[in-house]
Amino acid sequence: MPPAPEPPFAPSSHGVRGCPGRASFRPGADHARVARLGRRRVEKGYGRYSTEGPGPRRSEEHRRDAEAFQRARGRRGGAADGHPGPETWRRPFS
């Protein structure tokens, strides 16, 4: 079954659709936003844990790549948990 299409979100001031919320990136989530964010992180050089490339199903590889991205942006401890929030969603697109 193909992943669910990305629902419409209004663009924010920086031209990227608003963060769909942390629940959209829970383990096992399967939709286009997961793949879109994963592709952008890989393009920015944060895809070392994605062995098969970022797909639409949220996995531990997605979480580890997001955590590496957060740490590179100065987050530490619980703030670098690998779960995308508004900032981790926006930064790869800016």
Residue-level pLDDT at 16: 59
What are the φ and ψ backbone dihedral angles of 35, each rounded to 5 degrees? -65, -40
In whole angstroms, give the CA distance from residue 18 to residue 42: 20
Mean pLDDT calculated for residue range 3-10: 53
Helix (H, G, I), strand (E, B) or coil at 15: coil
Identity of the amino acid at 91? R
| Mean per-residue pLDDT of the chain | 83
Could you tell me the residue ranges of all domains in the chain? 22-93
Write out pLDDT tens, residues 26-63: 999 999 999 999 999 999 999 999 887 888 999 999 99
Which residue in this structure is represented by tokens 């393009």? Answer: 43
Please indicate, yes or no, whether the overall pTM of this predicted structure exceeds 0.85: no
Give the confidence band of 19 by pLDDT, cuts at 50, 70, 90: confident
- Token pair in block for residue 63: 């979480």
